[in-house]
Amino acid sequence: MKTGFATSGLLALVLLAGCGEGPAGDMEDQPAAQERGMPGAAPATPPPSVETGPVLNSASYPPRDDCAAMPGWTEFRGKLQAAITRRDADALAALVDPDIRLDFGGGAGVKELRRRLDDPDYLLWDEIAALLPLGCGQQDGGAAAMPWIFANTPADADAYRGMLTLGPAVPAYPKPDAGSPASGQLNWAIVDLAEGSEGPGKPFTQIVLPGGGGTAFVETAKLRSLIDYRLLATDTKQGWRITALIAGD
Protein backbone atom coordinates (compact mmCIF):
# COMPACT_ATOMS: atom_id res chain seq x y z
CA MET A 1 0.00 0.00 0.00
CA LYS A 2 1.32 3.47 -0.80
CA THR A 3 2.62 5.95 1.72
CA GLY A 4 2.15 9.68 1.45
CA PHE A 5 -0.90 11.73 0.53
CA ALA A 6 -3.62 10.45 -1.77
CA THR A 7 -3.74 12.05 -5.19
CA SER A 8 -7.47 12.71 -5.28
CA GLY A 9 -8.04 16.16 -6.72
CA LEU A 10 -5.23 15.74 -9.23
CA LEU A 11 -7.25 13.69 -11.69
CA ALA A 12 -9.12 16.77 -12.79
CA LEU A 13 -5.80 18.17 -13.98
CA VAL A 14 -5.27 15.13 -16.19
CA LEU A 15 -8.09 16.27 -18.44
CA LEU A 16 -5.93 19.27 -19.27
CA ALA A 17 -3.03 17.07 -20.24
CA GLY A 18 -4.75 15.61 -23.34
CA CYS A 19 -2.22 14.09 -25.65
CA GLY A 20 0.75 16.37 -25.05
CA GLU A 21 -1.14 19.47 -23.94
CA GLY A 22 -1.79 21.02 -20.55
CA PRO A 23 0.56 21.52 -17.61
CA ALA A 24 2.95 18.71 -18.60
CA GLY A 25 2.62 18.70 -22.37
CA ASP A 26 2.56 22.42 -23.11
CA MET A 27 5.50 23.47 -20.99
CA GLU A 28 6.94 25.78 -23.62
CA ASP A 29 4.10 28.21 -23.02
CA GLN A 30 4.88 28.49 -19.32
CA PRO A 31 7.30 31.08 -17.96
CA ALA A 32 9.05 28.36 -15.97
CA ALA A 33 10.04 26.53 -19.15
CA GLN A 34 12.22 29.48 -20.04
CA GLU A 35 14.21 29.01 -16.84
CA ARG A 36 15.35 25.41 -17.28
CA GLY A 37 18.84 26.41 -16.29
CA MET A 38 17.52 27.67 -12.96
CA PRO A 39 15.61 24.82 -11.25
CA GLY A 40 13.51 26.18 -8.43
CA ALA A 41 13.57 29.78 -9.65
CA ALA A 42 10.22 31.42 -9.07
CA PRO A 43 8.24 32.16 -12.23
CA ALA A 44 6.05 35.19 -12.62
CA THR A 45 3.81 35.30 -9.56
CA PRO A 46 0.07 35.66 -10.13
CA PRO A 47 -1.29 38.93 -8.75
CA PRO A 48 -3.02 38.85 -5.36
CA SER A 49 -6.78 38.51 -5.49
CA VAL A 50 -9.55 39.66 -3.22
CA GLU A 51 -10.58 36.06 -2.60
CA THR A 52 -7.20 34.57 -1.68
CA GLY A 53 -5.05 37.50 -0.57
CA PRO A 54 -1.30 37.93 -1.08
CA VAL A 55 1.09 35.26 -2.29
CA LEU A 56 2.76 33.73 0.77
CA ASN A 57 5.77 32.03 -0.83
CA SER A 58 8.76 33.49 -2.68
CA ALA A 59 10.05 30.28 -4.26
CA SER A 60 7.72 28.35 -6.59
CA TYR A 61 8.05 24.89 -8.14
CA PRO A 62 5.48 24.59 -10.95
CA PRO A 63 5.52 21.56 -13.27
CA ARG A 64 8.12 21.70 -16.03
CA ASP A 65 9.10 19.30 -18.78
CA ASP A 66 12.88 18.97 -18.79
CA CYS A 67 12.63 15.63 -20.59
CA ALA A 68 11.10 16.79 -23.88
CA ALA A 69 14.49 17.31 -25.51
CA MET A 70 15.68 13.76 -24.73
CA PRO A 71 15.57 11.47 -27.80
CA GLY A 72 12.43 9.35 -27.88
CA TRP A 73 10.83 10.87 -24.80
CA THR A 74 7.97 12.64 -26.54
CA GLU A 75 6.96 9.45 -28.34
CA PHE A 76 7.20 7.47 -25.11
CA ARG A 77 5.10 9.97 -23.21
CA GLY A 78 2.47 9.90 -25.95
CA LYS A 79 2.24 6.12 -25.72
CA LEU A 80 1.99 6.35 -21.94
CA GLN A 81 -0.79 8.92 -22.21
CA ALA A 82 -2.68 6.74 -24.68
CA ALA A 83 -2.35 3.64 -22.49
CA ILE A 84 -3.70 5.53 -19.48
CA THR A 85 -6.58 7.08 -21.41
CA ARG A 86 -7.68 3.66 -22.68
CA ARG A 87 -6.77 1.85 -19.45
CA ASP A 88 -4.88 -0.52 -21.72
CA ALA A 89 -2.79 -2.82 -19.52
CA ASP A 90 -1.07 -4.47 -22.49
CA ALA A 91 0.00 -1.13 -23.93
CA LEU A 92 1.32 -0.06 -20.53
CA ALA A 93 3.16 -3.35 -20.04
CA ALA A 94 4.97 -2.77 -23.35
CA LEU A 95 6.50 0.38 -21.80
CA VAL A 96 7.62 -1.31 -18.61
CA ASP A 97 10.91 -2.92 -17.65
CA PRO A 98 10.35 -6.61 -16.73
CA ASP A 99 11.83 -5.98 -13.28
CA ILE A 100 9.96 -2.76 -12.52
CA ARG A 101 10.12 -1.87 -8.81
CA LEU A 102 6.76 -1.21 -7.15
CA ASP A 103 7.64 -0.77 -3.46
CA PHE A 104 10.50 -1.06 -0.99
CA GLY A 105 9.40 -4.46 0.27
CA GLY A 106 10.22 -6.54 -2.78
CA GLY A 107 7.13 -5.87 -4.90
CA ALA A 108 8.24 -5.94 -8.51
CA GLY A 109 7.54 -7.19 -12.01
CA VAL A 110 4.97 -6.70 -14.73
CA LYS A 111 2.55 -9.30 -13.38
CA GLU A 112 2.38 -7.54 -10.02
CA LEU A 113 1.99 -4.18 -11.76
CA ARG A 114 -1.02 -5.49 -13.68
CA ARG A 115 -2.58 -6.72 -10.45
CA ARG A 116 -2.15 -3.35 -8.75
CA LEU A 117 -3.57 -1.25 -11.58
CA ASP A 118 -7.15 -1.69 -10.34
CA ASP A 119 -6.50 -3.09 -6.87
CA PRO A 120 -8.30 -0.73 -4.42
CA ASP A 121 -5.24 -0.80 -2.15
CA TYR A 122 -3.13 0.74 -4.94
CA LEU A 123 -5.24 2.01 -7.87
CA LEU A 124 -2.10 2.49 -9.93
CA TRP A 125 -4.03 3.62 -13.02
CA ASP A 126 -5.10 6.66 -11.04
CA GLU A 127 -1.64 7.21 -9.60
CA ILE A 128 0.01 7.19 -13.03
CA ALA A 129 -2.65 9.45 -14.48
CA ALA A 130 -2.07 11.93 -11.65
CA LEU A 131 1.63 12.17 -12.58
CA LEU A 132 1.16 13.31 -16.18
CA PRO A 133 0.27 16.96 -15.46
CA LEU A 134 3.16 17.29 -13.00
CA GLY A 135 6.02 17.43 -15.51
CA CYS A 136 9.25 15.48 -15.88
CA GLY A 137 12.75 16.06 -14.53
CA GLN A 138 16.11 14.64 -15.56
CA GLN A 139 18.12 12.66 -13.04
CA ASP A 140 21.83 11.88 -13.03
CA GLY A 141 22.75 9.47 -15.80
CA GLY A 142 19.98 10.64 -18.10
CA ALA A 143 17.10 8.91 -16.34
CA ALA A 144 13.69 10.59 -16.29
CA ALA A 145 11.51 11.20 -13.25
CA MET A 146 7.84 12.14 -13.03
CA PRO A 147 6.80 14.35 -11.32
CA TRP A 148 9.33 17.07 -12.07
CA ILE A 149 9.60 18.05 -8.41
CA PHE A 150 11.02 14.64 -7.48
CA ALA A 151 14.18 15.34 -9.48
CA ASN A 152 14.32 18.96 -8.34
CA THR A 153 13.44 18.92 -4.66
CA PRO A 154 15.47 21.56 -2.78
CA ALA A 155 18.22 20.12 -0.62
CA ASP A 156 16.77 21.70 2.52
CA ALA A 157 13.26 20.30 2.02
CA ASP A 158 11.97 17.75 4.53
CA ALA A 159 11.28 14.63 2.46
CA TYR A 160 8.94 13.18 5.07
CA ARG A 161 6.90 16.23 6.05
CA GLY A 162 7.29 18.24 2.85
CA MET A 163 4.27 18.88 0.63
CA LEU A 164 3.85 20.55 -2.75
CA THR A 165 0.77 22.77 -3.09
CA LEU A 166 -0.99 21.88 -6.32
CA GLY A 167 -1.66 25.10 -8.13
CA PRO A 168 -0.66 28.74 -8.60
CA ALA A 169 -3.27 30.16 -6.21
CA VAL A 170 -4.04 27.63 -3.46
CA PRO A 171 -5.88 29.38 -0.61
CA ALA A 172 -4.37 29.20 2.88
CA TYR A 173 -6.98 29.61 5.61
CA PRO A 174 -6.56 30.53 9.29
CA LYS A 175 -8.97 27.71 10.17
CA PRO A 176 -10.19 24.55 8.39
CA ASP A 177 -13.10 26.25 6.70
CA ALA A 178 -13.23 27.20 3.02
CA GLY A 179 -15.95 29.70 3.86
CA SER A 180 -13.60 31.76 6.02
CA PRO A 181 -11.47 34.58 4.56
CA ALA A 182 -8.16 33.25 3.27
CA SER A 183 -4.93 34.51 4.83
CA GLY A 184 -3.26 34.37 1.45
CA GLN A 185 -2.41 32.05 -1.41
CA LEU A 186 0.36 29.56 -2.14
CA ASN A 187 1.88 29.39 -5.62
CA TRP A 188 3.23 25.86 -6.20
CA ALA A 189 4.90 26.13 -2.81
CA ILE A 190 6.77 23.58 -0.76
CA VAL A 191 5.38 23.53 2.77
CA ASP A 192 5.73 21.23 5.78
CA LEU A 193 2.98 19.42 7.63
CA ALA A 194 2.34 21.01 11.01
CA GLU A 195 3.04 18.90 14.08
CA GLY A 196 0.05 16.70 14.83
CA SER A 197 -1.60 17.44 11.49
CA GLU A 198 -4.32 14.94 10.63
CA GLY A 199 -3.42 14.77 6.94
CA PRO A 200 -5.00 12.12 4.69
CA GLY A 201 -8.71 11.48 5.12
CA LYS A 202 -9.47 14.98 6.36
CA PRO A 203 -10.77 17.77 4.11
CA PHE A 204 -8.15 20.20 5.44
CA THR A 205 -4.55 19.80 6.55
CA GLN A 206 -2.60 22.17 8.77
CA ILE A 207 0.72 23.21 7.27
CA VAL A 208 3.66 25.42 8.22
CA LEU A 209 3.84 28.44 5.94
CA PRO A 210 7.10 29.14 4.07
CA GLY A 211 9.59 31.45 5.75
CA GLY A 212 8.35 30.83 9.27
CA GLY A 213 5.09 32.65 8.67
CA GLY A 214 3.13 30.57 11.15
CA THR A 215 0.59 27.90 10.22
CA ALA A 216 -2.48 27.72 8.03
CA PHE A 217 -4.98 25.20 6.70
CA VAL A 218 -5.01 24.00 3.08
CA GLU A 219 -7.44 21.66 1.37
CA THR A 220 -5.89 18.20 1.60
CA ALA A 221 -6.69 17.50 -2.06
CA LYS A 222 -4.40 20.39 -3.02
CA LEU A 223 -1.35 18.92 -1.30
CA ARG A 224 0.99 16.24 -2.56
CA SER A 225 3.75 14.59 -0.55
CA LEU A 226 7.26 15.05 -1.93
CA ILE A 227 7.67 11.27 -1.66
CA ASP A 228 4.30 10.33 -3.14
CA TYR A 229 4.25 8.11 -6.22
CA ARG A 230 6.92 8.77 -8.84
CA LEU A 231 7.59 7.13 -12.16
CA LEU A 232 11.22 6.55 -13.11
CA ALA A 233 12.23 5.65 -16.66
CA THR A 234 15.44 4.84 -18.50
CA ASP A 235 16.30 4.93 -22.19
CA THR A 236 17.24 1.40 -23.29
CA LYS A 237 18.01 -0.34 -26.58
CA GLN A 238 14.29 -1.11 -26.79
CA GLY A 239 13.35 2.53 -26.12
CA TRP A 240 12.23 4.21 -22.91
CA ARG A 241 11.13 1.79 -20.20
CA ILE A 242 9.56 2.42 -16.80
CA THR A 243 11.93 1.03 -14.17
CA ALA A 244 10.05 2.07 -11.03
CA LEU A 245 6.58 3.20 -9.96
CA ILE A 246 6.99 3.68 -6.26
CA ALA A 247 5.97 5.77 -3.25
CA GLY A 248 7.57 6.40 0.10
CA ASP A 249 11.22 6.33 1.08
User: What would the pLDDT profile of 131-179 be if each residue is shown by its tens digit?
Assistant: 999 999 999 888 999 999 999 999 999 999 999 999 999 999 999 999 9
Burial (CB count within 10 angstroms: exposed 0-12, middle 13-18, buried 19+), residue 191: buried
Taking residues 103-121, what's their average pLDDT?
Answer: 97
φ/ψ of residue 149, rounded to 5: -60, -25
Average pLDDT value over all residues in the chain: 84
As a whole number of angstroms, the distance between CA 140 and CA 149 comes to 14
Taking residues 104-117, what's their average pLDDT?
Answer: 98
In which band, very low, low, confident or very high, does the pLDDT at 196 lie, cut at 50, 70 and 90? Answer: confident
- Return the DSSP state at 65: B
pLDDT at 20: 38
CA-wise closest residue to 89 among 98, 80, 97: 80
Helix H or strand E encompassing 242: strand 239-246
Is 239 within 8 Å of 76 (Cβ atoms)? yes
